[in-house]
Homo-oligomer: A and B are copies of this chain.
Amino acid sequence: MLSTEAQQTLFTNARTHNGWQDKPVSDVLLHELYDLMKWAPTSANASPARIVFVKSDEQKSALLACMAEGNLEKTKTAPVTAIIGMDMAFYDQLPQLFPHADARSWFAGNQALIDATAFRNSSLQGAYLMLAARTLGLDCGPMSGFDADKVNATFFAGSEVKVNFICNLGYGDASKLHARGPRLSFEQACRIV
């Protein structure tokens, strides 16, 4: 059981940030981030997420050309923007990732299962990335507003990877937070049977 302070860092006090402090995020920290998130579970250990961490001015400009207008300023000022992609050929890695069975054969040729597995599990891994980032003291700002075809052409050309969602990372500027939105009650979202 984690401490109340850890629960606050991960969930109860953590906020989606739109404004960023002028404080860099090192490549070492991005490696630490991956080395946490990679351990959380995916179906058949398939691990379909592929991540591009955009840091350079040149690549950030290329990404800004793909973003919806409401996401431009926050993406421009974030020290890192993570593009969470999904490898639609993830099953080709299963001989490495799931060596004790022919797991590749469970997927190859079944496009509906491939699509659902890639989307579900890369989304899980995107959530792991965000909570791993908070674990390391970073703040997150996830976004769905972008031109997916343009992101794919710019960052994943010549591969089987497709963008899932995009997430700014850095140290948030709490003075730029809006009021927190309400959540559904337990009774609205859950039941125990």
10 chain-A/chain-B pairs, Cβ below 8 angstroms: A2-B2, A2-B6, A30-B192, A31-B186, A49-B189, A56-B193, A96-B182, A96-B184, A99-B182, A120-B123
A130: chain B residues at CB < 8 Å are 40-41
B135 pairs with A127, CB closer than 8 A: no
B6 and A135 contacting across the interface, CB-CB below 8 Å = yes
Shortest CB distance A106–B (Å): 10
A181: chain B residues at CB < 8 Å are 45, 97-99
Which listed residue (B98, B155, B191) contacts A53, Cβ 8 A? B191
Q: Does A67 contact B (CB under 8 A)?
A: no
Contact flag A36-B53 (CB < 8 Å), given A2-B135, A6-B2, A7-B135: no
* Contact residues in B for A121 (Cβ distance below 8 Å): 123
Tell me the complex Cα distance, A8–B186, Å: 29
A51 and B131 alpha carbons, distance in the complex (Å) = 20
CB A83 to nearest CB in B, in angstroms, measures: 9
Question: How many angstroms from the CA of A41 to the CA of B27 in the assembled complex?
Answer: 25
Nearest 3 A/B pairs, CB to CB: A127-B127, A123-B123, A1-B137
